[in-house]
Amino acid sequence: MTWTIPNQITLARILAIPLFMYFLFAEGTIYKILALAIFALAAASDAVDGYLARSLNQVTPFGKFADPIADKILVAAALVSFVQLDELTATPVVTILSREFLVTGLRILAVAEGQMIPASFLGKAKTLSHIGLVLFILATRYFGMGPIGLVLKDVFLYLAVALAIVSGGEYFWRSRELFVHGLKGQK
């Protein structure tokens, strides 16, 4: 691995996940604030490392692999933790995580066929909605918002699930030739 600044930021995001989870489950106001701060910084670092990699011409194979995986692990860790903390139920979390596994598998298939599936607008919107959902839940754990907070959490959740499903469908629709060629090649 090349130790570029963007790769170091990506690695720091991965290493921040256990610390985020520790603070998420720790008792006390300061820990709730620290969990929120760590998640916010880790989520923001995704934009920073991508920008730096492109602007400094430091795009590396490690970065291409680790950056999207780091994002998925960060969000998955938060969502699964929220199920344990009774902030979310399992069904929407499994739906969101299933989409992530399916699209990652699709990308692996594309690479095996010598193709690349670039991120789409809907895929980026999905990522923002998932980060928004996590940040909202983390903020309400500290600040509280009463009944309106519960309604807003549902809005964020429905948006996150809808964008997961729609963007996943879009990736498969745009990549349908992978399956057509794969099926023709097996006959």
Task: Give 98's pLDDT tier (boundaries 50, 70, 90).
Answer: very high
Residue 63 has a pLDDT of 83
CATH code for the domain of 12:
1.20.120.1760
Q: How far apart are CA 67 and CA 72, in angstroms?
A: 9
Residue 46 has a pLDDT of 87
- Expressed as residue numbers, the domain containing 61 is 5-186
Instruction: List own/partner pairs for 163-166 with CB under 8 A and 24 or more apart.
Output: 163/122, 163/125, 163/126, 163/129, 164/95, 164/96, 164/99, 164/100, 164/126, 164/130, 165/95, 165/99, 166/122, 166/126
Q: What is the mean pLDDT of the chain?
A: 91
Task: Give 1's pLDDT tier (boundaries 50, 70, 90).
Answer: low
In degrees and rounded to multiples of 5, residue 175 shows phi and psi of -105, 15
117: which 2 tokens?
């599936």
Can you tell me the mean pLDDT for 35-47? 94
**pTM, two decimal places:** 0.89
Can you tell me the mean pLDDT for 147-166? 95
Q: How far apart are CA 140 and CA 177, in angstroms?
A: 44
The answer to whether residue 184 scores a pLDDT higher than 80 is no
Task: Give 87's pLDDT tier (boundaries 50, 70, 90).
Answer: very high
Q: How far apart are CA 103 and CA 111, in angstroms?
A: 12
Number of domains in the chain: 1
The answer to whether residue 71 scores a pLDDT higher than 70 is yes
Q: How far apart are CA 115 and CA 167, in angstroms?
A: 19
Can you tell me the mean pLDDT for 98-116? 90
The answer to whether residue 187 scores a pLDDT higher than 60 is no
Name which of 17-21, 23-27, 144-148 the model is least confident about. Answer: 144-148
Other CB atoms within a 10 A radius of the CB of residue 158 amount to: 13
Could you identify the residue written with the tokens 């985020």? Answer: 20
Percent of residues, the chain, with pLDDT higher than 70 = 96
